[in-house]
Amino acid sequence: MSASLGLATQSVAQSADTVQAVTQPQPSRLVIGGYGEATYKYNMYSDNFNRYKFPVKYADDPGFGRVDIPHAVLMLGYDFGQGWSFGTEIEFEHGGVEAAVEIEDDEAGEFEKEIERGGEVALEQFWIQKSWSRAANLRLGHIVVPVGSTNNAHLPTEYFGVFRPEGESTIIPCTWYETGVSFWGRKGAWRYELQLIPALNSSMFDKSSWANGASASAYEFRSANKMALAARIDCYALPHIRLSASGYVGNTFGNDILTYAGSRYADVKGTCVIGSLDMQGHWGQFVLRANALYGHLSDAYMISAYNSSLDNSSNSPYAHTMVGEKAYALGCEMGYTLGQKWTPFVRMDAYDSYIPAKGQTDYQWTGRQCIALGVNYRPIAEIIIKAEAGYRNLAQQYNDEPWVAVGVTWAGFFKK
């Protein structure tokens, strides 16, 4: 059979891996699984919206704690036979329905109703696949975009920290999913994937998270005036090591329901290019993961001006902030397993969500470096209990941001 969700060791987006090729017989046509996490975090710094504008004023503010269920996911897969299979991933984020009230950090500290995506639940995957062989598979529908290391491996058992790696998950969508077409396969030591998907929306870029919200839609549909290409290739040729490269390219300006008039923006394309390298290595009890991601947005100066002109009413879904021309994220984590259950680890991240174009204001608080030390306890294969202490360093004029966090996570099959 062709349907098998790779939950215990791989994310759905990665696997053939997620739904196996027709040459891989399985004991059941139906596969049911899932993953989830419950977390507590105490931030030892102010959460006031003006903390970057007036850092001295808030240097001695008390910290704040938060409990959360970042992700609770149900996965289903089914093999129809003759190479046809189905997969879906239904996610409840933060225990809710993707609508929340937030305090806007970028501007005046106003309360905003945040709508990340129309509908009551997040449908992260919903696709039909035709498999001709292990090397040739066509997937049609709502799919994960495997750009970067975390989108490719986003289950909580696939990284050491209590939360997803901070750099990538800040500056690009994570988990990033679109409705499109994917051709993928594996031949020998190589796995490859090419996708045609709707482009990001430049009106949803902002300075604190660059393209993170640019795949979201507040409407019951996703605008697809512009299309984009995404690709990934994984190499398993070296013993115990996976080396990967992934990327994205698409024009983002005008990929919205709003139209613009006049000649001022006639030549604006907002071409977004993202490139990423990542790796994972296992040597006995030692695990190393590393990633580097770089993004560039053309016409950032003009897009910033356009975004500032959009409707700024309380119901507006747009960011209305400056948009950086460039963004980057670097990350590395290392862990060593003791006695098959305890894994002490260290995680380091450096990223900047806003590198301005010529003539734009520079907001130096967007560049951050983080280090976290922690431990994973794995009583059984499907469950990991995590704890960490971290420290986020900003430019000298801003207050640093230490935290502690704990979480219980799981990923596994109910039926396969």
pLDDT tens for 71-113 read 899 999 999 999 999 999 998 887 665 555 555 555 555 555 5
What pLDDT shows up at residue 263? 80
C-alpha–C-alpha distance, residues 40 and 287, integer Å: 25
pLDDT tier, 317 (very low <50, low <70, confident <90, very high otherwise)? confident
C-alpha–C-alpha distance, residues 331 and 314, integer Å: 36
Identity of the highest mean pLDDT range in 131-135, 202-206, 264-268: 131-135
C-alpha–C-alpha distance, residues 158 and 9, integer Å: 7
With residues binned 3-state (H G I as helix, E B as strand, rest as coil), the percentages for the chain, rounded to 5, are 10, 50, 40
* The pair of three-digit structure tokens given for residue 213, joined into one six-digit string: 């919200």
pLDDT value at 391 more than 90 = yes
pLDDT value at 5 more than 50 = no
pLDDT tier, 177 (very low <50, low <70, confident <90, very high otherwise)? very high
CB 292 within 8 A of CB 330: yes
Cα end-to-end span (Å), the chain: 11
pLDDT value at 18 more than 70 = no
Report whether the peptide linkage leading into residue 88 is cis, meaning its omega lies within 30 degrees of zero. Answer: no
Between 54-63, 103-112, 123-132, the lowest mean confidence (pLDDT) is in 103-112
Mean pLDDT over 51-80 rounds to 92
pLDDT tens for 221-241 read 888 999 999 999 999 999 999
CB 51 within 8 A of CB 401: no
Share the mean pLDDT of the chain: 87
pLDDT value at 12 more than 50 = no
Strands 64-81 and 111-115, by their bridges, are unpaired
Give the rounded percent of residues in the chain with a pLDDT score beyond 90.
Answer: 69
What pLDDT shows up at residue 116? 58
pLDDT value at 351 more than 50 = yes
What pLDDT shows up at residue 120? 53
What pLDDT shows up at residue 26? 52
Q: How many domains does the chain have?
A: 1
What pLDDT shows up at residue 261? 63
What pLDDT shows up at residue 404? 98
- CB-facing half-sphere around the CA of 260: CA atoms within 13 A: 21
pLDDT tier, 257 (very low <50, low <70, confident <90, very high otherwise)? confident
What pLDDT shows up at residue 146? 96
* The pair of three-digit structure tokens given for residue 139, joined into one six-digit string: 């997937």
Any domain includes 253 = yes
- DSSP-based three-state secondary structure for 366: helix
What's the domain range around 321? 34-69+161-408
C-alpha–C-alpha distance, residues 223 and 216, integer Å: 10
pLDDT value at 349 more than 50 = yes
Any domain includes 150 = no
Strands 122-133 and 111-115, by their bridges, are unpaired
What pLDDT shows up at residue 16? 35
Any domain includes 85 = no
Task: Give me the CATH number covering residue 334.
Answer: 2.40.160
What pLDDT shows up at residue 84? 97
Between 97-101, 216-220, 314-318, the lowest mean confidence (pLDDT) is in 97-101
Any domain includes 18 = no
When comparing pLDDT for 271 and 306, which is higher? Answer: 271
Any domain includes 15 = no
What pLDDT shows up at residue 309? 82
What pLDDT shows up at residue 117? 47
CB 37 within 8 A of CB 407: yes
pLDDT value at 279 more than 60 = yes
Any domain includes 151 = no
What pLDDT shows up at residue 1? 39
181, β-bridge pairs = 140, 196
C-alpha–C-alpha distance, residues 392 and 403, integer Å: 8
What pLDDT shows up at residue 56? 92
Mean pLDDT over 340-364 rounds to 95
CB 139 within 8 A of CB 320: no
Any domain includes 111 = no
Regarding pTM above 0.75, the answer is yes
Could you tell me the CA-to-CA distances from 29 to 20, 341, 416 in Å, in that order?
11, 33, 8
